Amino acid sequence: MKTGYSFDNRAPEADSQLRTLESFLDPITTARLAYPVLRRGAACWEVGAGGGSVARVMAAAVGPEGHVVASDLDPSHIEPDDNLSVVCHDARTDAAPSGAPFDVIHARLLLLHLPERRKVLRDLVDALAPGGWLVVEEFDCTAPLRVLTAPTDDAAKLFGQVMDVILGALQDRGADLAWAQDVHTEMVAAGLSEVDTVTHSESWTGGEPGAALHDLNSRTLEPRLVAAGLSVDQLTAFRKLAHDPSFASLSYQFVSTRGRKPLR
């Protein structure tokens, strides 16, 4: 079994996937990173930075006195700036980038994909400065997505079938669909204090960015989905449903957990 992150930043759909996730998640993340977590002059590390939107939020918040390192296996979607450095980095094997220890470290939709997630989380804690904050955000994929409206019962059933195969493909690569539920406990076990967790879910209607993410994910994973038994016709119908305004489902719970390294 090949393990690791399931969505390739070099895939044709990658830019649209990243923009779609940012439109849904960035307001939540920005609120979680707001003062007193992010401060002027802070040193920050955005791990698995994707399209770089959160790294840019960090860079604006810390100002010219601070600095942000944005790292990713493929950082080609991120542009460096005066107080924003971009590095190629594998969180599973590489040491913390230059700039450690950091006042703020953030990782979103990364650790759930990595079988080494607990080791990586502890490595991130080790890279924190005393008093620094770690913010880890993941989707909780343990419960099937509830279909709220659908054009037909068969369409609702198809949506569930395809989503089950998509999640199976992620698990086959080493993803832990329940990891989001464990992050709070793992942060406490790693010695962080002031640990708190918030969750968010909303409806995704066909044709809107959230539902469009289902279409994009199915295209990126298509070879594995077909190998798992889905037909091209099923995938075509699933993608059509993702753009049908008569269809709506709840999103996955987005779980944001943060904790602080004790000063001593």
Encode pLDDT of 160-186 as tens digits.
999 999 999 999 999 999 999 999 999
Tell me the pLDDT band of 5, cut-offs 50, 70 and 90. low
Q: How many Å apart are CA 104 and CA 261, to the nearest integer?
A: 10
In angstroms and rounded to an integer, the radius of gyration of the C-alpha atoms of the chain is: 19
Instruction: For residues 236 and 166, give the distance between their C-alpha atoms in angstroms, rounded to a whole number.
Output: 14
Q: How many domains does the chain have?
A: 1
Give the structural domain span for 22: 14-260
DSSP state, residue 75: G
Per-residue pLDDT tens for 43-70?
999 999 999 999 999 999 999 999 999 9
Q: Using CA atoms, how far apart are residues 127 and 131, in angstroms rounded to an integer?
A: 12
* CATH code for the domain in which residue 208 is found: 3.40.50.150
66 found inside a domain: yes
Per-residue CA distances from 86 to 33, 187, 209 (Å) = 20, 26, 27
1 within a domain of the structure (yes/no): no
C-alpha dihedral sign at 116, 118, 123, 129: positive
- Would you say 228 and 162 are in contact if contact means Cβ atoms under 8 Å apart? no
Domain assignment present for 2: no
For residue 179, the tally of other CB atoms under 10 A from its CB is 23
| Higher-pLDDT residue of 13, 246 | 246
Cross-strand bridge partners of residue 70: 46, 86
CA distance 243 to 212: 7
Residue 4 falls within a domain, yes or no?
no
| Largest pairwise CA distance in the chain | 59
pLDDT of 224 > 50? The answer is yes
CA distance linking residue 85 with residue 68, whole number of Å: 6
**Nearest to 91, CA basis, from 133, 123, 50:** 123
Q: CA 29 to CA 48: how far, in whole Å?
A: 14
| Domain presence at residue 217 | yes
Question: What pLDDT sits at residue 186?
Answer: 98
Mean confidence (pLDDT) of the chain: 94
* Residues 146, 122: Cα–Cα separation, whole Å: 34
Tokens linked to 220: 């990126």
Q: Kindly tell me if the per-residue pLDDT of 6 is higher than 70.
A: no
pLDDT (tens digit per residue) in 83-93: 999 999 999 99
The answer to the question of residue 7 being in a domain is no
State the Cα–Cα distance between residues 163 and 158, nearest whole angstrom: 8
In a domain, 191, yes or no: yes
Separation of first and last alpha carbons in the chain: 42
Q: Tell me which DSSP letter residue 98 carries.
A: T
Peptide bond into 36 cis (omega under 30): yes
**Quick check: is 5 in a domain?**
no
